[in-house]
Structure 1
């Protein structure tokens, strides 16, 4: 199946439509909530929570003996929340750093989850097949009720986000100031964390435990490169996440033996890479262009100041001087002379240059400004 055939079948094929809608909604909610994780410098939290959810899935299956998606995800939610509060407790009541606590919970819960999965696989229960899909995800198992659940959760997140927008925004950038205003910072922090855990749990079926943190962080990291405005960042992150889901699903469906979850993450990584290189404000390309432009401007100013030092010793500032006297100046190039002439700071006749009134005034301002800085 080609990409064009995929998009043609999208409106008529139930399975393709369900999977695409599900991955798009998942990408959007992960982008929105991932923005808070990125801005709060809790990028590793997503990785820890996704791994902490695994034993919850296994225990939910052992207790119920059935592979009901809602029950398994509920177990993952409880396990993820327990892991999250353990991390908070370890950082607040011990001298451990947050990265140490995250690493401990991640490895502990994931190891326990793998142990439970191994135990389940050795049990004489036919229902156990397919539990390992939560490790790497299997988007093909999405059904309409799963997508409906995602849409409902996304809608609730949007409503809560709008209701507590001011509180979330203040807490993100100045937690101490939030306390002085009388807001319950603990409640707001728990509310944000709860929705982040909820988004991660929803994505386990599609992307899996191992890759879920990338789905949470990649759209937000890409959006951060394009804006300094929180609302714009959240909107861009949701768009990047949704596009990653749709394009990743399309590529996976058009090729054989390509898992949807990893492809979605790779598409999101392309958005990140593109943003890191081409975003106007922070992109590497534009940063290099600005650096080169600043270096050229500095070279131009230094050459002008050197000429000013020569011209100011004459009563007539427009007195011509030989170009060769500039040869010993380190910043001098033929290109510099050409730019100075284009700016009408100097005039060139043959092998001689002369400073104009405009150039003399500009050089004098630069000279006085330098004296003030010194």
Structure 2
């Protein structure tokens, strides 16, 4: 049996054996072997090789289906649906750029093939390093910012219904364009500074030593983000408090109108969404910060650095699961699933059907023929 090459002989920080050597060292009873590292690497390897492709594939199919629904039902499009359209498109792009172009070929394939098959786009060339890092950073930042904008729009529509509820739908596209430009300009330093750089005796696709503070800037606004999830949580709590106060003014909760109950349900669902967003984002970024700090303080602590990155990558998979959950709730609570069932019945058997925008904080109802 051919001996597995050592990670120490590899020029780059990421190797095809990152998820294999921990358990190999445990079996060999090395003094620095760790059962925790073995468990974490095995969990990440199994997930990246066998589960993540299914999750990301489901997310891409669901996103494509949602986009088709929006394009086919022209009257359905409200500002909130425009935001969701752009959000799901950004999430799908992130799944493709980071899930399919990094997690699967750099983590899943090497784990499934014992390190024989792999692809590291970050290390294909210095240009590929910069472009790929910038691309997925942009799409993940954009999705965070779009969800934040949607939350602000919904809150303003509740507090100032006369001013904001009747704004033309096309302004949703204008707002998205501004959000995309803000996201782009906020990440221009990332595009210019990320490159091949040395950490110890390894090459890594990241910020060089003089700009290490950019690691924390990148963590705060990109990937799962920190600033946006916390802001979204605060906004949704305020939104929920406002709707609840309005509902109580109408009378006891037991005798609320159907519309008020739908609004309360929407608030609770969106509040849960924001909590899920924070739960997925904060641990991931804490793990990244730990990895950055350890690698700068003591690059020789490779096991600890790798464990922190493995934890962060596991939370990336929660990021992908979150996208699928969003799509399921979106289809279920807006009635899109029932609309699709009607569509499959054919034109001769189709009945008029109502798709609701109440879930997104708007009272728009669209009749689909």
Normalised TM-score (structure 2): 0.29
Question: Quick check: which has more Rg, 1 or 2?
Answer: 1
Normalised TM-score (structure 1): 0.28
